[in-house]
Amino acid sequence: MTTSLQNLPIGVQDFEKLRRENYLYIDKTALIYRLATTGNCYFLSRPRRFGKSLLLSTLKAYFLGKKELFHGLAIESLESDWKEHPVLYLDLNSGEYRDEQSLRSRLNFVLHSWEDEYGVGDEETELPIRFEGVIRRAYEKTGRQVVILVDEYEKPLLEAIEDSKLQDTFRNILRAFYSVLKSMDACIRFALLTGVTKFGHLSIFSSLNNLNDISMSSLFFNICGIDNQEMTTVLRPYVDSLAEKVNKSLEDTYAEIKHRYDGYHFSEDSDGVYNPFSVLNCLYHKKFGSFWFSTGTPSYLVTMLKSHDYNLERLTTEEVTANILSTIESDNPIPLLFQSGYLTIKNFDPEFSSYSLGFPNEEVREGFFNYIMPSYVPKEVGNSSFQIMNFVKELRSGRVDDFMTRLKSFLAESPYLLVRELENHYQNVLYILCNLCGLYTRAEYHTSQGRIDMTIETDKYVYIFEFKFDKTAELALQQIKDNNYVLPFQSSGKKIVCLGVNFSSKIRNIDNYLVE
């Protein structure tokens, strides 16, 4: 059965190659036709490895009039006039941007290639002016308006996220370059800029009010990624093969794929979308794995979390507005995590137009905590000095002294430089560990009487933690009693364990704890 299946396009981002070499193509051309015929200048942000490059490549083939590549696809019956347009394709993903000259060199290289085809103006020296000249001459030479496609438009900005001065330099260069899309609007048939994030606060788009941002539009929520219908129709034969290999029923196999790779919501009223890279790799290798994270996670995520000393539990408890999600705020890592695909929309409150966020699926949740762990805890986690397996066993069996002793031993190994703000640091460490252990953990649990610092639940126990810093464990335990923090858990049928814990800034560890 599997021998007749088309090849899965692992790593294939070129539409023409995909169509000519018997790779599976999940038909997005009806959406592409709608995009091309209802507007002309767009911006789209999607997480990495989500099919943005293939989308641009498909648009390139469409606007070059390569009708033969679209045989049998939805657009074949929608488009009757296959005109060829000059296409200017800029891919910033392929370069490394360590200084101003590296960005200028990349733009200069691309401009030279366009100028070889459409000519050079005598007075054109600056990058934006040369870009204008190329667009104008391409229009005049062909008699057709120009199509401009930009892949990973903000790559230089992301690489300079730790260097505000260099980022300002990149911002000014790119802002002037992209502003040509508005000044040359009469010569442009279509433009699409794609990226992982939207640097609105950096004014990249300040002069581009003609750009239609479709990142959170329900009309195009599945233009990248795999929707549920595609999962159960186009990919059904591959799922059958996976189910046979892993010895699961078809229903259970679909449920596992959904648990691991589904759950991305790009607007409040759209269905979930599967991560295409993870799904295709799962079906190709016929096993469940963490494929998205294996391709590398950008370091700027940890940089932002650490630089703002962010309380990690807030990632899935904060409510935000669409305005916050649609740009990157210098003092808030949430928009960056949302746009990068680490958080997604879980709920929407129409009364206040606010969004609740969460991890889209198990692959992202587990991968995220594994990735950030080395930035918060020493490398010894998981080996003989601190075994997560034993930590879980001790929590599950109620062996408080054992897991607190283990925790103290572990915290003693934390390098001084990792500990900036004690309260957030220790709460974040516990939060990461418990998530990796698969325990139900809530930090800053709100009750009618106050806010519990942390709760951990197992099948038999509820642990209520109250932390103090340079005070006493007695004071911490008394706060649990005074505020009656046990009340929300009394009907759970589980044994409730209250722990008052004091951290000392002098020894950078737990100096005392009390249990009741």
Looking at residue 202, its pLDDT comes to 46
Q: How confident is the model at residue 429 (pLDDT cuts 50, 70, 90)?
A: confident
Domains with residue ranges and CATH for the chain: 2-220 (3.40.50), 228-294 (no CATH), 300-358 (no CATH), 377-515 (3.40.1350)
Looking at residue 193, its pLDDT comes to 95
Q: How much is the pTM?
A: 0.86
Among the listed residues 220, 222, 191, 189, the one whose alpha carbon sits nearest the alpha carbon of residue 208? 191
- CA within 13 Å, CB half, 194: 22
Are residues 326 and 266 in contact, defined by beta-carbon separation less than 8 angstroms?
no
Higher pLDDT: 102 or 454? It is: 102
Q: Which of 125-129, 291-295, 349-353 has the highest mean pLDDT?
A: 125-129
Looking at residue 52, its pLDDT comes to 96
Q: Which of 172-176, 194-198, 311-315 has the lowest mean pLDDT?
A: 311-315
Looking at residue 311, its pLDDT comes to 80
Phi, psi of 496, deg, nearest 5: -100, 125
pLDDT at residue 418 greater than cutoff 50: no
Q: pLDDT (tens digit, 9 = 90+) per residue, 245-302?
A: 999 999 999 999 999 999 999 988 889 999 999 999 999 999 999 998 776 666 677 7
DSSP type of residue 329:
B
Looking at residue 144, its pLDDT comes to 97
Size (the chain), residues: 516
Q: How confident is the model at residue 384 (pLDDT cuts 50, 70, 90)?
A: very low
User: And the tokens for 182?
Assistant: 């508005």
Looking at residue 382, its pLDDT comes to 45
Q: How confident is the model at residue 122 (pLDDT cuts 50, 70, 90)?
A: confident
The mean per-residue pLDDT over the stretch 322-349 comes to: 80
Looking at residue 512, its pLDDT comes to 92
Among the listed residues 195, 205, 216, 221, the one whose alpha carbon sits nearest the alpha carbon of residue 340? 195
